[in-house]
Amino acid sequence: MSKTPRRGFNSRHLHQDNLKLKFKPLRISRKQVKVQTIQYWINEQIRAPEVRVIDENGQNLGVMDTPVAVQLARERELDLVEVFPKAEPPIAKILDYGKFLYQKDKEARKQKAKAKKVEIKGIRLSLRISSHDRDFRLNQAKEFLESGDKVKVEIILRGRERQYANAAREVANQFINALNNLVSTKIEQPLSFQGGRLSVTVGKK
C-alpha cells in the first residue's frame, strides 16, 4: 500500500499563503510610576525649638522660637507649616494649610497624570503570515513603540509546526528588522523558544 508523500515546509509559503488571523493586542504587564506623598508638620506638631519663618507674602521674617512663630501665624488666622525640615534651622511658612494641601494634591495629580504607564503589547505572527497581515502588525507595533510601550512578538507552533522552529525564528527576525526600519528599536528580551512558543521583546531606543 503506497503512502501519500509528505509535503515538507517550503519557505515560499511564508508570504504566499493568505492565513487570516484575528489580531488583538495583548496587555501583558503594566508598570505604574508612584508619586511620593509628603507629610507636613503644622503648628504645635513642629518639634524643632526654632524655625526660619517665611510669611504669607514670601517675606523672610528670620529665625524665631517655634511657639512665637505659631502664635504669629494664629494672629493672622493662618497656620505655621514646616516645609523644609532638613534645613538648619527648619524653614516654616505662614499660610492657609487647607489651601496649601489642595494645591499640593493638585500638583501630585498632575504629576501622576503625566507619569507614563509602560505596557508590553503582544503581536502574534504565524509561519505562513501574509504580507498584508504582516504589514498591518508592523504598523501596530510601530504605534505601540512610538507611544512609549514595549512590543512582544510571538509565534506559537502547534503539533508538527514545532519542527519548523528555525523558519519561525526567520519570520520573527525579518519582522524585527522591518520594524527597525520604521522606528529605531532595541532588544529588551532576546529571542527565546519554550514549549512551542517563540518570543522576542523590543523597545524604542
Backbone angles phi, psi at 20, to 5 degrees: -90, 120
What domain range includes position 93?
41-113
Q: Are residues 28 and 123 in the same domain?
A: yes
What tens digit of pLDDT does each residue of 149-174 get?
999 999 999 888 888 999 999 999 99
pLDDT of 107: 85
Place of cell 504669629: 72
Residue that is last in its domain, among 78, 113, 148 = 113
Q: Are residues 125 and 109 in the same domain?
A: no
Backbone angles phi, psi at 187, to 5 degrees: -80, 120
Using a 10 angstrom Cβ sphere, with 0-12 exposed, 13-18 middle and 19 or more buried, the burial of residue 146 is exposed
Domains in the chain, number: 2
Give the span between the Cα atoms of 7 and 25, in whole angstroms.
33
148: CB partners within 8 A, 6+ apart: 116, 118, 204
What tens digit of pLDDT does each residue of 5-60 get?
444 444 444 444 443 334 444 444 444 444 455 788 989 999 999 999 999 988 99
Alpha-helical segments (H) within the chain: 13-16, 66-75, 97-114, 131-146, 165-182
What letter would DSSP give residue 6?
Answer: P
Average confidence score pLDDT of the chain: 82
CATH number of the domain residue 165 falls in: 3.30.110.10
Q: Which helix (H) or strand (E) holds 197?
A: strand 197-204
Q: 0.85 exceeded by the pTM?
A: no
Tell me which amino acid residue 38 is: I
CATH number of the domain residue 65 falls in: 3.10.20.80
User: Where is pLDDT greater, at 121 or 18?
Assistant: 121
